[in-house]
Chain A
Amino acid sequence: MFRLNILNPKFNSYLLLVFSLTTVLFDINFYNQLLFFSVLFFSIFQNLSHYKFKNVYSSIISLIAIYIQFKLNDETLSKEFFLNLVLILIFIKFSEAKNKNDYHFFNYSIIFLSVSTLIYGQDFLSSINSILLMLLSIIHLYSINQQTIIKLNLEYIGKYSLIGVIILSVITVIYLVFPRYELNIKLFEATKNNLGIPDTIELGSFSQISNNEEKVFIYNPLKNKTKDPIYFRVKIFDLLNDKRSWVSASNKNFDTKNNEKYEINKTYDLGKNHSKIIIYPNDKNWLPILKDFRYNNSLINNNFINGTAEIDKKIIKKTSYIIKPKNFNVELDNNFLNFYKKLPKSFSQKLFNWSLEKRNNSLSNLDYLNNLMLHFANGDYFYSLSPNIDSSNNYEKFFFETKTGYCEYFAGMFAILARLQDVPTRLVSGYMGGSYNELGNFYIFKQSDAHTWVESYIENKGWVRFDPTQIIPQINVVSFNNVSSNNLQSKDFEKNDMFFKPNILRLYYDYFDYIWTNKFSDYNQKSRNELIKDGFQNFQFNSFYFFIFLFFFISIKPIQFIIRKKLFFSILFNKIRLQQNILNKSLTHQELLKKLSNDDQVKFFEVFNIYEKLYFSKNYKINYKTFFITNYRIIKFYFNIN
């Protein structure tokens, strides 16, 4: 039997197996988990039992595991596949391990896994798990080679923590000076993920997204929670093609074909009110942005016409960006605006007639759009996450017959009705709402927060937002997701609110994850350069840390002196020799005592007694009280203080 002790190599190796399993376990599907558990049990069984041709069995198992792994990872050589292979390697190494050398390479592969997951995972828990795994494997490496550990007393702890501090400083220097690169294993390609907004918007294209609970980004407004729902723009869809699906036209399309003119009045208001966005890795180029904000980064292209932003390099690690409010006007030519009125030829006559009737009853374009909004609010339309998906994009059928859909149904319909009456309109897709974290004052946007709304160009007002999804009456919401919480006022939902209360643990986890990302993962070339510049150029000796360091440095010796309880006997003896003019240095302490005057002999008898006990008795230990009193007496004698 083995004891539950980390220094016990047998117990530690099982602990290592469990921890290395947890690094991967929560990111994989059920069948993959099953595979890992079965390989783990096989390896433990093989490690404990003794029979012939062990290596043959384990190699067969490993080949099978690799094949299943390849199939489960959609037959792509992705990073996840690579990490899973490393874990299988660890299990197989453990199954074959007999002697010390085998455990050596078992440990190194664990260190490799922990480093890979440290870079790949990037969230709080997985980072802690990887660091723990690394420490445990180093302890295991020690425990398989050694049987005893060094006694833990104050001196040793001090010494080895000093070594630790030196090594840590070396690591920080490497961390600061060396450029950091992303996990970029060139042999492997990234797995397909569903994060982001699809390239085309058809009826039902959001159906896969609506149930996806993956985090997309974190928004830290540096202000408290606002009452209005937050709309983050990602993509603009301004062209309805012949298949009646919305696509986005590139800027070049405007210029060459239509000779439009637009002017951008570049007057930025660089206020101090900047906010932070932390984006999770998604292997895409787009970035979410608020209206009337811009990114403050040279790598990012701010599209002023659409009010969106894109980055040249794909986002493959957690990165944070700063957005600042901007103040500029884009003046659009009439020809340019005509682009936003286009519809495919021979569009539904029935819809046109309906819209014409509505327009004739309205005073202006704005009035017409408001009337459209009221039409959606009249109670005939239902919001549902599982409507009938119509592949032919039949908007007419939705508008007059089924009347059930979600955001892109309503937004697309609204835009078509507006364009039918020559109101320049475009679809905006992005994220809305988000869940607010009170601890850290930030919003988490998940993939299920994806949303589509409409913007129409009104003269003298510019682009005005219309969100027909939000206007659907609460009774008509069959199953809701991104309808903002302000609208949820019916009693049924208040009752259900108990179940939707965010778990406190979840709240704290999100908060620590945010802090971890903010302080450790979010570290780029720019901040490194700034830190080095600030550190070396503006170094001030009166800084707080310098004084702490100085205080620590100065106080080491006195603390050491007090801990070791040293007495000033040499000072005492030298003083007596000086007083009595004794040149002979080989006199014993008793002879020195006799040389003193009678009064002094009585006075210092105790001190000499302590000296005798301290140096000639094995069991005598001086306590702090006598240590301080004797030293005080010696110093008093030395400086002739009475």
Chain B
Amino acid sequence: MINKNWEIFINKHLEKKSKIQKNFLTKKNLYIFPNLNGFKLGIFIFFSFASSIFYQNNVGLLVSIIIFIIYFISIIISYQNLDAIKIEPLNCLVPNNKNVYLSFFVEALNNRQRLNLNMSLNKNKIINFDLLSNKKIDFVYFFPKRGIQNMPQINLTSLFPFGITRAFGLVKLRQKIYVYPEPIKPPSIIINNLKHQNFLNDEDYEFDNIEEGKSGENLSRISWKHYSIMKKLFTKKFITLNNNNKVLIDIEKLNRSNFELSLSYAVYLIEYYYNQKKNFAIKYQKFVSNYSNSLKHKNKLLKYITNVQA
């Protein structure tokens, strides 16, 4: 009970303080507190010091001084261990309803080596690591809803060096995270419809290879150049390509009854056509995007879908 209240109290203060300076862990949002062992040791120091005064006892005085120095060193080193750390998220675009990897770039400022750091996202899974200058840390995380959201808070704790003081801090990140709907494969009719639309456009032919000619073939495809050299008929083979094909994904037409489902279909199709290297665009109500196949374009569309309202 006391523990819970204490945690709520500390978290309130930590959140207040971490709002001031985002992406950084500095002395402004860093707390150092003794843990249970530390409290026990503190009581021991107090009693040995008290006994040294009341009983004029040299041993008590020296014991209290030495253990206090250990305590003091522990506080200084644990502060130095956790102070001045910068955290930047590496990916801000993830699907919902899926376990995703959130990567962070953790950097130790002041060129100081850090040891035995425990990092966790919203107190989920704790990752322990040492930091020489910088490091990439991956977390598995789950977002239930789509939309533009705040980055999850990062808790950093350390029991360095003697395990009697616990330094901890909460880092809030400036960046927002875009959680788009999870991709769901649409029924094959929809994909075929989109293909059919594409075939209506002009086809492109591209040279593939040369094969030995057979009787009854169209003479327009004969390679006369090869014939003049080899005195044999060779025909040029072509394959049809639709490089310049433009796919327009109309969100409203994908599924009329369920809006969220149609968004999920759209996300699947965007990723599908991005991998197929076709130019694609999306249309929703009055919004029509450009046609392109770049990563930037894909991310832009996904960000649009993240926040689109019915």
Contacts and interface: CB of A to CB of B under 8 A. Distances in A.
Interface of A: 100-101, 104, 108, 111-112, 115-116, 118-119, 134, 138, 141-142, 144-151, 156, 163, 167, 170-171, 174, 178, 180-186
Contacts of A183: 57-59
A145 B66 CA distance: 19
A178 B76 contact: no
B113 A150 contact: yes
Contact of B160 (A101, A108, A146): A146
Interface of A is mostly: helix
Interface stretch (B67-75, B89-97, B221-229): B67-75
Nearest to A145: B163
Given A167-B69, A167-B72, 19 more contacts: A104-B37, A104-B163, A108-B67, A111-B63, A111-B66, A119-B58, A119-B59, A142-B161, A145-B161, A145-B163, A146-B161, A147-B116, A150-B115, A163-B76, A170-B69, A171-B69, A181-B58, A184-B56, A184-B58
Contacts of A144: 163
Contacts of A146: 115-116, 160-161
A232 B116 CA distance: 63
Interface in B152-176: 159-164
A371 to B, nearest CB: 57
Interface string B93-105: 0000000000000
A87 to B, nearest CB: 15
A118 B61 CA distance: 13
Interface string B197-223: 000000000000000000000000000
Most buried by B among A115, A141, A183: A115
Interface residues on B, range: 20 to 34
B84 interface: no
A138 B67 CA distance: 10
A151 B162 CA distance: 18
A99 to B, nearest CB: 11
B238 interface: no
A484 B58 CA distance: 41
Contact of B159 (A101, A134, A145): A145
Contact of A180 (B44, B55, B58, B113): B58
Interface in B106-149: 113, 115-116, 130
B159 A171 contact: no
B20 interface: no
Given A108-B44, A141-B162, A181-B58, A148 B63 contact: no
Contact of B59 (A100, A115, A142): A115
23 contacts: A100-B163, A108-B41, A111-B66, A111-B67, A138-B70, A138-B162, A141-B163, A145-B161, A146-B115, A146-B160, A146-B161, A147-B116, A148-B115, A150-B113, A163-B73, A163-B76, A167-B69, A178-B61, A180-B58, A181-B58, A184-B58, A185-B55, A186-B55
Nearest to B130: A148
Interface in B33-64: 37, 41, 44, 52, 55-59, 61-63
Interface string B74-93: 00100000000000000000
A163 B55 CA distance: 32
B65 interface: yes
Contacts of A104: 37, 163-164
B80 to A, nearest CB: 9
Contacts of A186: 55
B162 A182 contact: no
Contacts of B76: 163
Nearest to B54: A186
Contacts of A134: 66
B298 to A, nearest CB: 33
Contacts of A118: 62
B62 A119 contact: yes
Nearest to A118: B62
Nearest to B62: A115
Contacts of B116: 145-148
A151 B132 CA distance: 9
Nearest to B160: A146
Nearest to B57: A184
A616 B308 CA distance: 45
